[in-house]
Amino acid sequence: MATLTERRVDLAREGFWSRVGFLIRRYPLGAAGALIMAVFVLAAAFAPWITEFDPLSTNSRLSLAPPSAEHWMGADFMGRDIYSRIVYGARVSLAVGVGSTALGCAIGVVVGLLSGYIGGWVDLVVQRVSDILQALPLLVLALVMSASLGPSLRNTIIAISIPLIPYAARVIRANTLAVRELAFVEAARAVGMSELRIAVRHVLPNTIAPLIVLATAQLGSAILTEASLSFLGLGVPEPYPSWGRMLSESAAEYVRTAPWLVIFPGLAISLAVFGTNLLGDALRDVLDPRQRA
């Protein structure tokens, strides 16, 4: 006979899967986006087990080999397996996308919280700097930063994260301005809590939900920006397999004779950006009560 604890676990498990099923039915496009991103994450995590060839090994006999049973997506001009390079390239794209988005949002949270909670000249200076950063397109500012720092994985993450800071800061600031005037913040001041503790413990948690939506949407932009930088030779350098560099190496010269060199990396970039956008839209609907209504 099942114990009370086992019954509670079963009920919680059934409730979890019922909520998941409801969300899938309610937001089918968001579920599709989550599935696409899950495929990329699993491919990046289990790349050594789902690929047969080394993405960096060359074979002159396989130069420009078309897709076949052995090489599902063909080989490039150096005889490297395209499928292996795309799977391992998911590691680079996700590392840059997640790293730059996390770094940019983390700095943006601190800047936006200080700007919205302190106000005064701090808010004025932060907003003017944000206006300057947002005046330039994301790709242009990332190009400037990447050219200044030099091509490397770490520098690419930093170069893409800096343009994302003002977007996160603006979201946090706007919510901080609204939350700091609520009654529970005044009550926390009345009992003698410090301003730092109020800002971190009470104001910040109430501003995170819009940031999650923004971070998911910016993840797709970060992946696309990394591919653009690598295409221009300013992103992730060799020997890392990057989707943008794969396009750069083959787009101009082999697009007519070996179109698979362009189709498959371009499809991977498009699916990654498409999946993050669908997931971001669904998260916005789930986390925003006005959208749900």
Average the pLDDT over 226-240 and give the result. Answer: 82
Structure tokens at 251: 């787009």
DSSP 192: T
Give phi and psi for 278, each to the nearest 5. -65, -45
Say what percent of the chain tops pLDDT 70: 90
pLDDT at 16: 59
Please, are residues 164 and 108 in contact by the beta-carbon 8 Å criterion? yes
pLDDT at 293: 47
pLDDT at 268: 92
Going by C-alpha positions, the residue among 49, 36, 44 that lies closest to residue 90 is: 44
Going by C-alpha positions, the residue among 285, 259, 289, 279 that lies closest to residue 82 is: 259
pLDDT at 42: 93
pLDDT of 248 above 60: yes
> DSSP states of 36-105 as a string?
HHHHHHHHHHTHHHH--S-TT---GGGTTPPP-SSSTT-B-TT--BHHHHHHHHHHHHHHHHHHHHHHHH
Say what percent of the chain tops pLDDT 90: 11
3-class DSSP string for 145-182: HHHHHCCCHHHHHHHHHHHHHHHHHHHHHHHHHHHCCC
pLDDT of 281 above 90: no
Q: Largest alpha-carbon pair distance within the chain?
A: 77
Ordered structural domains, the chain, with CATH: 29-292 (1.10.3720.10)
Q: How many CB atoms lie within 10 A of CB 291?
A: 11
CA–CA dist 184, 51 (Å, integer): 55
CA–CA dist 64, 87 (Å, integer): 19
pLDDT at 206: 79
Mean pLDDT for all residues in the chain: 82
Residue labelled with tokens 């946090």: 172
Q: What is the pLDDT of residues 161-207, one digit of tens each?
A: 988 899 888 888 888 888 887 787 778 778 877 778 888 887 888 78
- Name the pTM for this structure: 0.83
pLDDT of 273 above 70: yes
Going by C-alpha positions, the residue among 224, 229, 110 that lies closest to residue 166 is: 110
